[in-house]
Structure 1
Amino acid sequence: MTVQDKIIAILADQALLDVSDVGLDDTLDSLGIDSMGLVETIFAIEEAFDITVPFNANAPAESGFDVTSVRAIVAAVESLVKERV
């Protein structure tokens, strides 16, 4: 399973959607994931990939972790996974 597949599965689970309903250009808002859901998603991503996501729920725009779209989240996680190695 690729990073992209895992991220989509995590987001689909959080949004109570089928993975086929989650596209790379979707936003968390379009998936119905609110700020609490975002925090839960970040925890799930950290656990799934054994990484620490630089995310501040109080100031998400200043976190340096792009959550503007599914594609951006995938790219950010891929980068963090590469740094871990």
Structure 2
Amino acid sequence: MTDTIKNRIKEIIAEQAMLEPDQVTDESTPEELGIDSLGLVESIFALEEEFDISIPFNANEPSKSEFDISNMGTIIAAVERLVAQKAA
């Protein structure tokens, strides 16, 4: 299931960045993908809707949130954690 989540997250982010999913790597930052702050908010809303989760409103402040948006790997890990918590 984790690969499915990871692939879907990459598809959502790629769509926002107008890229192909294979261009989104775990090391990619939103800035490197050309995603501005508004695009990031739209991506977060899309992730919340897709996985029926709530991403903390302070995700853009890593020191105040467990949801780290610094790169795709941390975003994927955080979404997977929220999905697992919901399923538990």
Measured after TM superposition, the shift of residue 45 of structure 1 is 0.1
How well do the aligned residues superpose, as a CA RMSD in angstroms? Answer: 1.3
Report the equivalent of 1:37. Answer: 39
Runs of 4+ in 1 over 6 A off after TM superposition: none
Q: Which runs of 5+ in 2 are unaligned?
A: none
Measured after TM superposition, the shift of residue 65 of structure 1 is 1.3
Tell me how far apart the structure 2 counterparts of residues 83 and 55 of structure 1 sit (CA, whole Å): 18
The residue type paired with residue 19 of structure 1 is P
Select 1:65's aligned residue among 67, 72, 86: 67
Size of the aligned set, in residue pairs, is 83
Corresponding residue SS for 1:46 = helix
What is the TM-score when the length of structure 1 is the normalising length?
0.91
**Bigger relative CO (Cα 8 Å, ≥ 6 apart):** 1
Report the equivalent of 1:83. Answer: 85
The residue type paired with residue 6 of structure 1 is R
Tell me how far apart the structure 1 counterparts of residues 20 and 84 of structure 2 sit (CA, whole Å): 28
